[in-house]
Structure 1
Amino acid sequence: MEVDTESNIQRKQSIYQSMDESFEIQKEMYRGQQYSQIYFARLHLMRTLLYSLVPNWKPHLPVCTVLGLEEGKECIIVGTLYKHMKLKPSILDEYSKEMIKFLYFIGNMQKSAGPLVKPHNFIHPDDHLVLEDESGRVKLRGNVLLPSVYVTGLVVALHGKETGAGDFWVEDILEAGLPNQIVLPLKSGEDKYVVFVSGLSVGNSGSNPLQFQLLVDHVTGHLGDEMEQSIAAQIVQVVIAGNSVEIPLGLLNGQNLASKDQSKLSEPIKELDILLTQIAAGVPLDIMPGPNDPANFSLPQQPLHRCLFPGSSAYNTFRSCPNPHSFELDNVRFLGTSGQNIDDLEKYSEAKDKLEFMERTLRWRHISPTAPNTLGCYPFTDRDPFFIESCPHVYFIGNQDKYATRLIKGSEGQVVRLICIPRFGETGIAVVLNMGNLECHALSFGTEFSS
């Protein structure tokens, strides 16, 4: 049997470099560690940065501490924001559950209360901001600093003066801004693509396994004619951004599991491994944990254990990565999460869309400013791994309701492609990025047949 070797299509290659060192926890330990230490590390790091920017911002104004404020004297203070929120959930509310149930029962009996409506976030008009440094804290006032935009944990520089009531009237605000960025490689004339997918939810009764198999066949070049196969050969990387499996939570009730229940826990992971093995056999693959995956809950989530994937982990193209995840492909820098950081921002602040939240985190130079206040994270003692030292060229988040993208530019020529990756199990949509020009588009896999 003769084989036509001339028609063989070779897959393009790219140089991969992991940038995940800061997200890896070498010796995990909780005893004796306080979350105040990560705030101190963040304040020291960001304050040093903001001090270097102040001479070009307001060179004529002195920099003061909160304790050194004088009434009516204009100055600049640098510190950490704290937002007092009337609707913010509290652990103490757990003790009043029975009373709430009773009142709700009485309300229904009297037919005087309508149905309970769950708000999309915890913003309230009475929310206000406080700035804090090592010397003290001061309440902020003014129309420049909107409480609905900012969250607890941000470090900023404020221009203003102390009022007679002891508050600080804000006249201007300085954020860190986009960090420096390595030069984006020039177009080489050849296209190379990265495929992003998230929310596979293998094991969910409502998911369609045919959709994921179509994606696998497309990426590996087993779908379409020679033209489509040549395009598939230009895919150099696949990134799976969290929530790959969905395990029935009802089984995890703290009791011993029967053998049939044990299989229900392991089957989704086995099925995922079979699909990932098909991809890893031909394309480099990064998989990140998400909130529903069998990984630690707090950020940074550590890589999924390789023993979960005996088939796919046998290939050197398979990489189990942390969340957040940072890497370079041919000197194009990528940074992304499985979505927890942006979803948490949406609960405690407001924006017109998820892309605006993403842009704020870049301009604040912090992936997850609400950690550890409202988003769980490991209690680092000597550093803040969520500080963004170098501006990525591609910034992505997974497990979103819909696909969205935008290209933003910084004051020093930085260019960043923002990408919201939709949940594939619900939408059947993956995202394809061209590394040559940072253009991206949605890739939809439909499995419905018309009658």
Structure 2
Amino acid sequence: MVSTEVDSEKNLLHRKQSLYQSLDESFGIQKEVYRGQQYSQIYFARLHLMRTLLYSIIPNWKPHLPVCTVLGLEEGKECIIVGTLYKHMKLKPSILDEYSKERSASPLIQRHNFMHLDDNLVLEDESGRVKLSGCLLPSTYVTGNIIALHGKETSAGEFLVEDALEAGLPQQIERPIQLGEDKYVVFISGLSVGRSSSNPLQFQLLVDHITGHLGDEKEQNIAAQIVQVVIAGNSVEVPHGLLNGQNLGSKDQSRLFEPIKELDILLTQIAASIPLDIMPGSSDPANFSLPQQPLHRCLFPGSSAYNTFRSCTNPHCFELDNIRFLGTSGQNIDDLGKYSEANNNIDFMERTLRWRHLAPTAPNTLGCYPFTDRDPFYIETCPHVYFVGNRDKYESRLIKGSEGQMVMLICIPRFAETGVAVVVSLYCFNQLSPQHV
């Protein structure tokens, strides 16, 4: 923690401070050893973990029904089965489609959603798999969901679903009582520094605003209460023509590094005043598969000189004054949007919380590291704030759990396109607001 000051015409404002704790350890892969393992092990770890959880809450849901395996189903006998969902999708891309696209004179049409009316669900456990029918909507679920189902086997060999049980919101640590003045966290996403259409002045105005160099005395008082800035992915955008796998000349190397250099200059101004977390995104110079590892500090020689600068993983989890934040740069929600349907991004976010899993489509359609004995995307503790970056527009929703949990869901819009950052109050979630620059 660094004590910083903000100038005002009448007095000298001292920036508020907060107690920060990083909880990104579970998303690190430095201690993992790749031995050619396949992805079946992460599915097994997920099933084992979440089935144990579902078994513990089934007695409160349907205490009169027996729990069976897929192999143990009997025709016409009502029971509960627990397993992993697999969704058969007619339009799901395959490597054969990619091959035919290369061979064809007319390229395949690029789709943004692969849902089809003929899609159907299958539930699988260690003993076998069974096709599902009944009330479970294929449009809501994706491959990788762990769920408990109440129903019975039909004469056609299908399992007729009558009811479904999801894991629900996990337990939540109690929110601290507000002591003294409020504190704020600023969320930014999709800076896209280096894009031809981006406006450097827009980000510079935001930097000046949150560091207290713009605005009247009232605005500077608010700026002095900002205790954390989080940048949620896609901070730079390099020219795609340069990324062709060929050796680059000195001129092209300079063009490639220019957006990162420009970003570092801006981040240095923030880190000199406020603690700053930066997460990698799909367009940033980081590993592609989740969990993305922190951007290397050598990319930021200016900002990394400050101990307020933290390069973090994606997903990112941390606590400020015992208030827990959990978020991603948006790849998990983008992938859900391709293989399921919802009214908006907030609905997708709420589903992942109630499924207790950040990225259920990984590793099927969303790239992830092949973990062998754990699933880091399992949500063990309910956050107070759940954020997702690189959205089309700002959205928020306060949801409540059956045990009194309260979670603020936030969609952070792309700053380069909207000029919007999101300011969150640590103690009063109803004071959450988008700030236009």
TM bracket (short chain): over 0.9
Q: Deviations over 1:131-153 (max 9, x none)?
A: 000000000000x2000000000
Evaluate the alpha carbon distance shift between residue 288 and residue 118 of structure 1 in structure 2; reply closer, same or farther with a 3 A threshold: same
Distance 2:9 2:119 in 1: 69
TM-score by length of 2: 0.96
Q: 1:7-46 counterparts in 2 under 5 A?
A: 7-46=11-50
Q: Is the 8 A contact 2:389 2:412 kept in 1?
A: yes
Contact kept in structure 2, 1:327 and 1:334, CA below 8 Å: yes
Q: Are residues 297 and 314 of structure 1, via their aligned partners in 2, closer, same or farther at CA, if it must alter by over 3 Å?
A: same
Q: 2:305 aligns with which of 303, 306, 314?
A: 314
1:72 is paired with a residue of what secondary structure? Answer: coil
Q: Match for residue 123 of structure 1?
A: 115
Q: Is the 8 A contact 2:9 2:217 kept in 1?
A: no
Q: Which amino acid aligns with 1:406?
A: R
- Say whether 1:84 aligns with 2:75: no
Amino acid aligned to 1:59: P
Partner of 1:220: 211
Greater mean deviation of Cα atoms: 254-263 or 70-79: 254-263
CA distance in 1, matches of 2:292, 2:93: 24
Aligned twin of 1:135: 127
Higher mean alpha-carbon deviation, 29-38 vs 91-100, is at 91-100
In the alignment, residue 306 of structure 1 is paired with which amino acid? R
> How far apart are residue 26 of structure 1 and its match?
1.7
1:442 is aligned to: 434
* Larger-gyration structure (1/2): 1
Task: Tell me how many residue pairs correspond in the alignment.
Answer: 430
Structure 2 Cα separation of the partners of residues 196 and 353 of structure 1: 20
Matching residue within 262, 269, 280 for 1:289: 280
Counterpart for residue 302 of structure 1: 293
Q: CA deviation at 1:93?
A: 1.1
In 1, Cα distance between equivalents of 2:9 and 2:193: 37
Which residue, out of 241, 263, 277, partners 1:272?
263
1:364-416 deviation line (CA, Å, top 9, x unaligned) = 00000000000000000010000000000000000010011111111111100
- 1:406 paired to 2:397: yes
Determine the C-alpha separation between the residues in 1 that align with 2:33 and 2:50.
Answer: 26
User: Aligned partners of 2:255, 2:50: CA distance in 1, in Å?
Assistant: 47
Moved more, 189-198 or 388-397: 189-198
Give, in angstroms, the shift of residue 188 of structure 1. Answer: 2.3
- TM-score (normalizing by structure 1): 0.93
Stretches of structure 1 that go unaligned for 5 or more consecutive residues are 105-115, 446-451
The reply on whether 1:73 has 2:77 as its aligned counterpart is yes
- What are the residue-to-residue correspondences of 1:201-212 with 2, within 5 Å? 201-212=192-203
1:190–1:436 CA contact under 8 A, matched in 2: no
The reply on whether 1:385 has 2:389 as its aligned counterpart is no
RMSD, aligned CA: 1.5
Partner in structure 2 of residue 54 of structure 1: 58
Secondary structure in 1 aligned to 2:149? strand
Is structure 2 residue 243 aligned with structure 1 residue 239?
no
Q: Which runs of 5+ in 2 are unaligned?
A: 1-6
What's the offset of the Cα at 1:32? 2.0
